[in-house]
Amino acid sequence: MEQFDIAIIGAGSGNMIINRKFADKKVAIIEADKFGGTCLNVGCIPTKMFVGSADAAQHVLGAERFNLSAQLNGVDWRGIVSRIFGRIDGNVAAAEQFRRDNDNVTVFKSHAHFVSDHVLELIDAGDEANSPAAVAEQRISADQIVIAAGGHAHIPDHLSQLPAVMDGSVVLHTSDDIMRIEQLPQRMVIIGSGFISAEFAHVFSSLGVEVTVVARADALLRRHDVAVSQQFTQCAVEQWDVRLNTTVIDIVATSDGARVVLSDGSAVECDSILVAAGRNPNTPGLGLHNTSIEIDEGGRVIVDEYQRTSAQGVWALGDISSHWQLKHVANHEARVVQHNLLNPQNLKAARHDAIPSGVFTSPQIATVGLTSAQAQELGLDVVESTVDYKEVAYGWALADPVGFCKVIVERSSGLIVGAHIVGAQATTLLQPIVQAMSFAVPAADLARGQYWIHPALTEVVENALLRVRL
Ligand SMILES: Cc1cc2nc3c(=O)[nH]c(=O)nc-3n(C[C@H](O)[C@H](O)[C@H](O)COP(=O)(O)OP(=O)(O)OC[C@H]3O[C@@H](n4cnc5c(N)ncnc54)[C@H](O)[C@@H]3O)c2cc1C
Ligand SMILES: NC(=O)c1ccc[n+]([C@@H]2O[C@H](COP(=O)([O-])OP(=O)(O)OC[C@H]3O[C@@H](n4cnc5c(N)ncnc54)[C@H](O)[C@@H]3O)[C@@H](O)[C@H]2O)c1
């Protein structure tokens, strides 16, 4: 059995750990699928490139607001797909080749399965690029193991077990394959109302697809601050066919697609169905029952603040263990593991405060920290302030009727505990607030301790901060 100093399971965020500082370590990187993982292949990066096309289409479709006459004359779906994946696939291949060129790293294109805390079985290790010895042996051991195996799209049983799905007459797409479909559908049903639903509804509707969103709750993005959720739901209803408080009870194949039967007795005809009902960690299949690595009730690997699992010398990071399924969180955790592997006597803790997120939909959404409801649940004495885009000059320039910036500030400390922005450039506008929260800069200092470019859209943030009355 070949022995390694370090074995990394998953070449998504796990692939960024090894650098020149590990030159004297013998490293195994085991990847069952493509280098780059979810973010590069089927997640953040391709979705945002599709959002680029969708936003461009929206500029044309909304040109009248600016007293311009413009028409969207066509959408070259195949062209969009090949531009996006032409760029991505080249990077994926280069990332794998870069690793294969590292003298101290062995790449295994295999599925890793724990046999014990420090021994991995490599399943389907038949890739000819693997070293013959490794393929023959099928097991490796390592002093340190990093689990960076990510997550996968969840298809609820009540959908996957429908007869038409089971017999293959209806296909349920997920974010894994919807971006590579051959043709742009005419009518799409999206099941779920979180991040992925919001982003793909924007993408496909902007490209001319009739989109129906089926949400089991009474609002979309309901884990967001209520002001965001309400505003977004209102905007969604104006753009798409939104069915709230509704579930799918059956799906039947039709001559040109499918009929989705809903709990309110109605049915929607479509030619494509996207399930966006959350993502689960990839712990099943890892063989963790053979180890002392513990998982929580959600199937996540349990880690401490240093990203250590309950098995000595085994670490975990990213979607397999994190409560935040976000790439910037996985990247941060990978940097923490990188430091801790090299500095066992001086461990660094991961930081999980002031984690921002963006939803790249229409309108764009950015959020950090507590919602109003969470602040209330925690019994915090807070002051809130909201400024609409239409109250600042650049909001006039953008003719944005719906955007706003809301900040939530703790009265006693004057520190920002949450902020929520809806509207153009929301994800960019949020960053000064993330910075202030990370470095404990009070709201008043952030507002008046620096210049804000006039009349940039950042004035909406400045004014929301200035309007806080402690
Ligand atoms: C459609 C979509 C859009 C997203 N957009 C954003 C966004 O805009 N911003 C953002 O911050 N986040 C976004 N995310 C979330 C983000 O992609 C993830 O949080 C992030 O990629 C997780 O990284 P990871 O390294 O933990 O896992 P992954 O990137 O999933 O990497 C895990 C790797 O492990 C491999 N693997 C799994 N099991 C095994 C095994 N047993 N043996 C060997 N290899 C294995 C997998 O093949 C995979 O390559 C998006 C996700 C999706 C699905
Ligand atoms: N821009 C970004 O940062 C970005 C974009 C996409 C995805 N992501 C990450 O990926 C994760 C997964 O995205 P997602 O949209 O799939 O999950 P999500 O958790 O955001 O939303 C899941 C949705 O599915 C619904 N749902 C769950 N079970 C259901 C069922 N049985 N029937 C009907 N509806 C059901 C939920 O009510 C919710 O509306 C996100 O939580 C996010 O962390 C991030």
Catalytic residue status for 454: yes
The model's confidence at residue 131, banded by pLDDT at 50, 70 and 90, is low
Q: Return the CATH number of 363-466, one of 3.30.930.10, 2.60.40.10, 3.30.390.30, 3.10.150.10.
A: 3.30.390.30
| pLDDT value of residue 413 | 98
Query: What digits encode the pLDDT tens for the residues 209-263?
Result: 999 999 999 999 999 999 999 999 999 999 999 999 999 999 999 999 999 999 9
The mean per-residue pLDDT over the stretch 382-389 comes to 98
* 3 state DSSP class of 134: helix
- Sign of the Cα torsion 105, 107, 108, 114 reads positive
Domain ranges of the chain: 2-42+82-152+280-342, 157-277, 363-466
Instruction: Give CA angle at 112 (110, 115), nearest 5°.
Output: 140
| pLDDT value of residue 136 | 42
- Atom of ligand 1 minimally distant from the CA of 113: 41
The model's confidence at residue 277, banded by pLDDT at 50, 70 and 90, is very high
Length of the chain: 470
CA of 187 to the centre of ligand 1 (A): 28
Q: How far apart are CA 26 and CA 2, in angstroms?
A: 11
ipTM of the complex: 0.98
CA of 173 to the centre of ligand 2 (A): 14
Q: Is 199 annotated as a binding residue?
A: yes
Token code pair at residue 116: 């014990």
pLDDT at 134 over 70: no
- Find the catalytic residue in 158, 323, 352, 454: 454
Looking at residue 302, what DSSP letter applies? P
Q: Is 445 exposed, middle or buried (0-12, 13-18, 19+ CB in 10 A)?
A: middle
| 3-state SS string for 181-246 | CCCCCCEEEEECCCHHHHHHHHHHHHCCCEEEEECCCCCCCCCCCHHHHHHHHHHHHHHCEEECCC
pTM: 0.96
| pLDDT value of residue 124 | 78
Q: What percent of the chain is modeled with pLDDT above 90?
A: 97
pLDDT at 130 over 90: no
CATH code reported for the domain at 2-42+82-152+280-342: 3.50.50.60
Query: What digits encode the pLDDT tens for the residues 361-376?
Result: 999 999 999 999 999 9
Q: Is 197 annotated as a binding residue?
A: yes
CA of 31 to the centre of ligand 1 (A): 12
Query: What digits encode the pLDDT tens for the residues 93-129?
Result: 999 999 999 999 999 999 999 999 999 999 974 554 4
Q: Is 89 annotated as a binding residue?
A: no
| pLDDT value of residue 128 | 47
As a whole number, the mean pLDDT across the chain is 96
Ligand 2 pocket residue status of 222, Cβ below 6 Å: no
Q: Return the CATH number of 157-277, one of 3.30.830.10, 3.30.360.10, 3.90.950.10, 3.50.50.60.
A: 3.50.50.60
* 3 state DSSP class of 460: helix
pLDDT at 306 over 80: yes
